Amino acid sequence: MSEETARKLVLVVIDGLTPTMLEGSLGEPSTPTLTALAAHGSLGRATTTFPSLTPVCLSSIATGAHPDVHQIPHLVWWHRGERRLVEYGSSFGAARAAGIGKTLRDTLVGLNAEHLGTRAVTVFEALADAGLRTASVNFTVYRGRTLHRPNVPFLGPVLGPERFYFYNLFRGERTGAPLSFRNRPGGTIDAYAAAVGRWLVTRDGFDFLLFYLSDYDYASHAEGPDTATGVLARCDEAVGGLVQAAGGLDEFLERYAVIVMSDHGQSAVRHVARLGEPFRQAEQTLVAASNRAGHVYRLGHAAPTARELALRLDGDPSVELVLFQEEGAVVARRDGVELRVVDGHDGHELDGDHAVLDHPDGVARAVAAVRCPNAGEVVVSAADGWEFADLGGGHHVGGGSHGSLAPTDSLVPVLTVGLRGEAPKSVVDVAPLVLAHFGIAAPPYVLRRAA
């Protein structure tokens, strides 16, 4: 490897940060670290996956795959094999409705140990297999090669990165970090992450670090898109702590290449709908929805067909787009107009009005979402300004939300410093970029997509 590609790498993910918020903040006194990194690197935009919800997006960042490969379909979904709902924590009310214990285990252990597709390869697995030291702080999709035992017995051991720091829940080296959950609205989760990150950089204890800051998204849900300036300042301070732990910006960039990005965008929410209402009388049908996306599942042969279910949403003001499979094609339906997508020799072949899927990278994202093995027979993207209430009736009216195919939900900022090659155009480009930085081949599904 060359001197350039031999540099270690830090990937910072600021949950829910929009491109407009980052771009507008650069040069401000509140973001000195991000401003300095941008001056040394390249700032652009990329497209996330669909549904544009955190577990789905983080799975795509970690694996370089859309849901058809990594198999995580939503924040809430129907587990066909176990005949139950999986809920990753849409809200406290949703977690309580699904069962607090089940929600915690699904979120903290099950997602990685049982739900994440076995064909998907995480960056932690690929780098460990190449003999590199991996580390992560609070990143939800952590599957790796090193066994870690929990501090809370009901979780059980998990496989993660070599150095694994996850909300104080698993045993590891003493870092002096504070308790992460003591005051979530006050920023203690990111304060924990910042302390652990500084500790790791001080010891130069990794080849690759995935550093995850979640408080910005939490604030944006409450305050709305592009308004959480105080939380962004805290994020900048957390990244600045990594820089200072290395001895300053020059020393930090001499040691590390850097990617700073988000996982999804945010949209303003003015209205809330219950996606299950149009299906109340439909036999053997279940709706799993929250934020700005939903799935409709057929639970038996007596349920309406996928097309019949999709047609029930025609004219619903909360719905922009529905997707389903029919006779080997993926069908996208919008305002009564359809587009059919089939696989051809040179990629997807389209039959119908192309404007139906004029969203960012709309065709590829829609097809992958519908073909996820855990997706519903119908996948729903919300209309502008609308959100679907979750299992506990929770919503973010007056604040921000995400999950749809719309540009506001779908575009993320990407800042790179010290990496060769093209900047990522999609979140699924990030894992291959990380592997290429270390001279490691991407998984077969990435290579097939690039062919």
Query: What single letter denotes the amino acid at residue 138?
Result: N
Phi, psi angles (nearest 5°) of residue 325: -105, 145
Closest CA to 68 of 401, 343, 433: 343
pLDDT digits (tens, 9 = 90+) for 21-72: 999 999 999 999 999 999 999 999 999 999 999 999 999 999 999 999 999 9
Q: What percent of the chain has pLDDT over 90?
A: 89
What CATH number matches the domain at 3-72+116-268+406-450, 3.90.180.10, 3.40.720.10, 3.40.50.300, 3.30.365.10? Answer: 3.40.720.10
Pairwise CA distance, residues 148 & 348, whole Å: 42
| Fold that domain 271-395 belongs to in CATH | Gyrase A; domain 2 (3.30.1360)
User: Which residue do the tokens 């849900």 mark?
Assistant: 221
pLDDT tens by residue, the chain, 451 residues: 444 446 999 999 999 999 999 999 999 999 999 999 999 999 999 999 999 999 999 999 999 999 999 999 999 999 999 999 999 999 999 999 999 999 999 999 999 999 999 999 999 999 999 999 999 999 999 999 999 999 888 888 999 999 999 998 987 888 888 887 776 777 789 999 999 999 999 999 999 999 999 999 999 999 999 999 999 999 999 999 999 999 999 999 999 999 999 999 999 999 999 999 999 999 999 999 999 999 999 999 999 999 999 999 999 999 999 999 999 999 999 999 999 999 988 889 999 999 999 999 999 999 999 999 999 999 999 999 999 999 999 999 999 999 999 999 999 999 999 997 788 999 999 999 999 999 999 999 998 776 5
Domain ranges (residues) in the chain: 3-72+116-268+406-450, 271-395
Pairwise CA distance, residues 390 & 413, whole Å: 28
pLDDT digits (tens, 9 = 90+) for 307-345: 999 999 999 999 999 999 999 999 999 999 999 999 988
